[in-house]
A and B are shown apart, each in its own frame.
Chain A
Amino acid sequence: MKKNWWKILTVLLLVFTVAVGMLSDVPRLAILNETIRNLYFHVPMWFGMILILLVSVVYSIKYLRKPSIKNDIIAHEAAKVGILFGVLGIVTGMEWAKFTWGEYWSNDPKQNGAAIGLLIYFAYLVLRSSFAEQQQRARISAVYNIFAFAALIPLLFILPRLTDSLHPGNGGNPGFNAYDLDSSLRLVFYPAVLGWTLLGIWIVNVKSRFELLRQRLYENV
């Protein structure tokens, strides 16, 4: 029970996010209207994705320093969960963009960056599946994971700042601080980020333990 406190925290945070996020008062803004509630669901997906992909890269580095099946499995599962978060982020973002920008896909630098980031990790999965031997697969995909993440950083953090974007906070659009993203929004937003990220880590945890057990079973059969 002592080790599981963070799982309880996750559940509480997410219940809080969904309940308060749907029911509480939000600032009335033109165009945005009620869709501002997407802040609690769309934006945390990106925070979660970046953090979980970071976990994946860290375990890839750990694998290169000290090769063990466990490190490889965690890196792989974290990459998959990162992709899941990325896809959810894109879907929620597109749905929201349809109502506010009028288009599912409006060639926004952040949208494109997200799509390319997902392509990189799909390529990672393809690369993994093209090796039969386990150690070689683990080492080479770890190398690609680190390399791709290094290439992803300019894509996600530098390019959007050089160009105009429809996203809040870019190209003259007011960001968080300009509006009254008052304490009522923040009160839900920060717990939402924490909750979704913890949920991702929980999924990675369960899946990698399951995968490890399966590997061990296959070895014994």
Chain B
Amino acid sequence: MLFKEVIYLMQKDFLLEWRQKYAFNGMLLYVSSTVFVCYLSFGLRSNALQVPVWNALFWIIMLFTSVNAIAKSFMQENRGRLLYFYSIVSPQGIILAKILYNACLMLVLALICFVFYAFVLGNPVEDIPMFLLSILLGAIGFATSLTMISGIASKAANSSTLMAVLSFPVIVPMLLMLIKMSKNAMDGLERAASLDELLTLLAINMIVVTVSYILFPYLWRS
């Protein structure tokens, strides 16, 4: 039952996205202009950025992109539609569908961002599959924690400021792990070296999803 609900809700989100492409295209433009601004402001040719700087810059761009992309997930729904959902589906279905949808969205955005970023600023990554794995984990992690935060922020008056304020401290542990893991991948260290970070990231994701699953019904009621 829950599974079916999740599938239907995700279908609806994808369909909406497909019909009114402005959100996705907007984010795409956001990513590419940010990368381009970085390129211009560093004023450099390819491969001139040091590895830690390259890495940190990439994750900062990812962070802001995801905050902006996911902030929309509850704010764009109008009152009538929320009321309609409230009467026909369970809150657990909604949060799971939103998390999965946002994870897919973030994954696509992150991959495009990586390709464009590597194209413009040079690609010093030595172990590409490992780096892609860290992007995958990052996209899922950002999606899980930010979806819940966006639900909380959408209830308040000044939601866009609140979104940033609430999400940054929550997301920092994840970000630190990701930066370390992708740094390992960039230096081409053996993969066992990143195992600690990988497991911790998975554990954080599990905690966040479980807590969101339990808490969302209380948020939904108002």
Contacting pair B155 A154 (CB below 8 A): no
**By the criterion CB–CB under 8 Å, are B218 and A139 in contact?**
yes
Interface-located stretch among A87-95, A96-104, A119-127: A119-127
Q: Is the CB of B156 within 8 A of A127?
A: yes
Q: Which B144-171 residues sit within 8 Å CB-CB of chain A?
A: 145, 148-149, 152, 155-158, 162, 165-166, 168-170
The verdict on A32 contacting chain B, using a C-beta distance below 8 Å, is no
Contact stretch, chosen from B33-41, B67-75, B208-216: B208-216
CB-CB < 8 A to B173: which residues of A? Answer: 116, 151, 154-155, 159
Min CB distance B203 to A, Å, is 7
Total count of chain A residues near the partner, CB < 8 A:
28
Neighbouring B residues of A131 by C-beta, 8 Å:
155-157
Q: Which of B166, B177, B207, B212 touches A153 (beta carbons < 8 Å)?
A: B207
Do A151 and B155 touch across chains, with their CB atoms under 8 A apart?
no
A residues less than 8 Å from B222 (CB atoms): 136, 139-140
A143 near B152: Cβ-Cβ < 8 Å? yes
What number of residue pairs across chains A and B have CB atoms under 8 A from each other?
Answer: 84
* Complex contacts, A162 vs chain B, CB 8 Å: 196-197, 200
If A123-B165, A140-B222 touch, does A150 touch B200 (CB 8 Å cutoff)?
A: no
Number of contacting residues on B, CB 8 A? 32
Contact across chains for A130 and B218 when beta carbons are under 8 A apart: no
Known contacts A126-B162, A126-B165; is A140 also within 8 Å of B170 by CB? no
Chain B residue with minimal CB distance to A150? B211
Q: Could you tell me the distance between the alpha carbons of A159 and B157 in the complex, rounded to whole angstroms?
A: 34
**A191: min CB distance to chain B, Å:** 33
Q: Judge if A221 is at the interface, Cβ distance under 8 Å.
A: no
- What is the bound-complex CA distance between A143 and B154, given in angstroms? 13
Q: Is A147 close to B, CB under 8 A?
A: yes
Q: Is A194 part of the contact surface with B, judged by Cβ < 8 Å?
A: no
A140 touches B169 (CB 8 A): no
Q: Report the Cα distance A146→B214, complex, angstroms.
A: 10
Q: Which residues of B sit under 8 angstroms from A120, Cβ to Cβ? A: 169-170
Is A144 part of the binding interface, using a Cβ–Cβ cutoff of 8 Å? yes
B148 in contact with A147 (CB, 8 Å): yes
Residues of chain B with a CB closer than 8 A to A154's CB: 173, 200, 203-204, 207
How long is the Cα–Cα vector from A159 to B156 in the complex, in angstroms? 32
B89 within 8 A of A: no
Asked if A64 lies at the interface with its beta carbon under 8 angstroms from chain B, I say yes
Partner of B152, one of A119, A140, A151, A158: A140
Closest 4 CB pairs of A and B: A119-B169, A120-B169, A130-B156, A151-B170
7 examples of A-B residue contacts, CB within 8 angstroms: A64-B218, A127-B165, A130-B158, A131-B155, A131-B156, A132-B157, A151-B173
Chain B interface residues (CB < 8 Å from chain A): 145, 148-149, 152, 155-158, 162, 165-166, 168-170, 172-173, 176-177, 196-197, 200, 203-204, 207-208, 211-212, 215, 218-219, 221-222
Residues of chain A at the chain B interface (Cβ within 8 Å): 64, 116-117, 119-120, 123, 126-127, 130-132, 136, 139-140, 142-144, 146-148, 150-151, 153-155, 158-159, 162
